[in-house]
Structure 1
Amino acid sequence: MPHSEPEPRTTTGARRRTILTALATAGTTAPLLSALAASPAHASAIGDLYASNTELYTKLAGQEGTEFARRYRRHEMADASLSQTYPYHRTTIMAMHGGGIETGTSELCLAMAGYHPATFEVTPAEGPVHDYWMFEGLRSSGNRELHVTAKNCDDHVALSMAFSSLNVLSLHGCTAAQAGAPATAPEAVVIGGRNAAFRRYLTEELTRAGFRTIDGATLPDLNGDHENNPCNRTMLGEGGQLELTTELRNSMFTTNTRVGRPTSTTPAFWSFTTACRTAISRLESGQRIL
């Protein structure tokens, strides 16, 4: 359940990273300065059994692969040329509560990264592909106990991937009541994160695709604006977050089980994925790297 979080902490390192990146990225100075002055944030941590990923990994030592799993992909990059600059992967997709914790977010994470959730083949075949990271609950029941709220994530791989990305899109699940969606139209997505341009592109593309979008600014417990949220621990100090209601996620699969979801995706799943990938493409196209 939602609750208020403490005042965000801004470190000297975060300021330095943000400012240096602003010098290499066109048109970002004003949003970055606004992000540094953001108001206190909120998240959902009431009921968490573990205060951090480290505590979870320690107390469940030896149970990775049965109780929980971590999956990620960092694409190989190399520049051996003295004269030519090669681009790097700018965006990472994350599902921090995948598997049976917030169902459907693992499959969406893979598809938004450009991989079919059942076959891991590049989909669409022409790409592009993005880096991704997931934490997943594997239990047959009781996966909520494995939930670690985003601002408390200290997984070293997750954070290193966020720190080395210009953008992160983090996928989460919520209830219709938490999202403020009416009972008559519970299928909705809350769009948050500190990157204003990213929020705008996601809103435009998802609305164009026929999905009900809700501005995270109206829901402080779901807005994803805490600076310690991995979606904002990027090179720019800002990113994007989506909170999908249970009903919306249910509409994306005909067999909503851990085994069944990868092979039973519906047109709504692919329409949602395509809209988000389009928003990512729009965001990246405006980011000039020197």
Structure 2
Amino acid sequence: MSLLQSPQSQPQPHAGRRTVLTAAVAAAAAGVPLLTGFGSGTAHAAAAGDLYTSNTDLYTRLPNGEGTEYARRYRRHEMLDASPDGRYPYNRTTVLALHGGGIEGGTSELCLGIAGYHPATSEPVRADGPFHDYWMFEGLRNSDNRGLHVTSKHCDDHVARSMAAGSLNVLSLHGCSAAQAGAPASRPEAVVVGGLNAGFQRLMTEELRAAGFQTIDGAKVPDLNGDHPDNICNRTMLGKGGQLELTTELRQSMFGTFTRQGRPKSTNETFWRFTAACRAAIARLEAGADQRIL
């Protein structure tokens, strides 16, 4: 995608097999006709059983929900270049957790850890960084947090969109089941590596495997590949980004207590090994030639 290409000029969303089948089942159960206008620029059928067609739809229909049903957290680091004869670096990478809190457990904590902050305190893990910008949407309900899920193609939160559009890179974190990822029953702890940035995929795969994690090529799991141009992980300055889908078993292995309240304070060695691998991949990515703005 050209740096000047607008969202309206990008290819329209396509429907994956899981989206179509889930929508069909839900429609049949509700006794309503199935929406077929997946290519429409004005309305989309809910993906994978989503109740809300976008973040805007969710915010509108739950006007008093923030702080009780859901939360949004983000950090944009202050950047300054006041020198007429020098040039200073800017933050190149944003980390996203679109389905944090109780929706896809563990992704909020991973988002903070990869960005350089401790999940329990939001304080820097290392005083010298590096630090990355981050944005997350979190389910706060005691149950039925899955009802707050908005698929990545339909994320239109203004802050999230602006942060992705102002970044060279995005790493978006998600949760899935071992069956969805195609992980073997004998080893269900796995992560699907996807997104449109092939170089980022390669680096992430190399670093995660070197750290002892089982990776699965997103191209082998089309429904989890994160390769749609409208996926917010790809709405970057370069028109491409990275996405990780972690199985439930892998996410559970990273915490002593796998509850929304318990996870931030019970991160373990597996959690920090995973976040360190992701940070190493980001560092290698940011050292590339396409990361320089002349």
Q: TM-score, normalised by structure 2?
A: 0.85
Aligned-partner SS, 2:285: helix
Residue 4 of structure 2 corresponds to residue 17 of structure 1: yes
Residue 276 of structure 2 corresponds to residue 289 of structure 1: no
Residue 190 of structure 2 corresponds to residue 174 of structure 1: no
Q: 1:185 aligns to what?
A: 187
Is the alpha carbon distance of 1:16 and 1:270 closer, same or farther for their aligned partners in structure 2, counting shifts above 3 Å?
closer
Q: 1:157 aligns to what?
A: 159
Pairwise CA distance, 1:71: 0.4
Pairwise CA distance, 1:79: 1.3
Contact 1:175 1:245 in 2 (8 A): yes
Quick one: distance in 2 between partners of 1:215 and 1:16? 27
Is the alpha carbon distance of 1:267 and 1:16 closer, same or farther for their aligned partners in structure 2, counting shifts above 3 Å?
closer
> 2:236 is matched with which residue: 234, 248, 253?
234
Contact 1:41 1:225 in 2 (8 A): no
The percent of aligned pairs where both chains have the same amino acid is: 70
Quick one: distance in 2 between partners of 1:60 and 1:136? 14
Quick one: distance in 1 between partners of 2:238 and 2:215? 25
Q: Kindly indicate whether structure 1 or structure 2 has the higher relative contact order, using CA contacts under 8 Å at least 6 residues apart.
A: 1
Pairwise CA distance, 1:126: 2.1
Q: 2:22 aligns to what?
A: none
The answer for unaligned runs of 5 or more in structure 1 is: 1-13, 19-35
Contact 1:93 1:169 in 2 (8 A): yes
Q: 1:213 aligns to what?
A: 215
Pairwise CA distance, 1:289: 2.5
Aligned-partner SS, 1:275: helix
Letter in 2 for 1:178: Q
The answer for unaligned runs of 5 or more in structure 2 is: 20-46
Letter in 1 for 2:148: L
Pairwise CA distance, 1:106: 0.1
Contact 2:3 2:239 in 1 (8 A): no
Q: 1:56 aligns to what?
A: 58
Pairwise CA distance, 1:149: 0.3
Is the alpha carbon distance of 1:67 and 1:232 closer, same or farther for their aligned partners in structure 2, counting shifts above 3 Å?
same
Quick one: distance in 2 between partners of 1:126 and 1:188? 31
| Count of aligned positions | 260
Measured against aligned partners, the alpha-carbon deviations of 1:148-198 in whole angstroms (never above 9, x if no partner) come to 000000100000000000000000000000000011100000000000110
Q: 1:32 aligns to what?
A: none
Contact 2:3 2:237 in 1 (8 A): no
Contact 1:41 1:220 in 2 (8 A): no
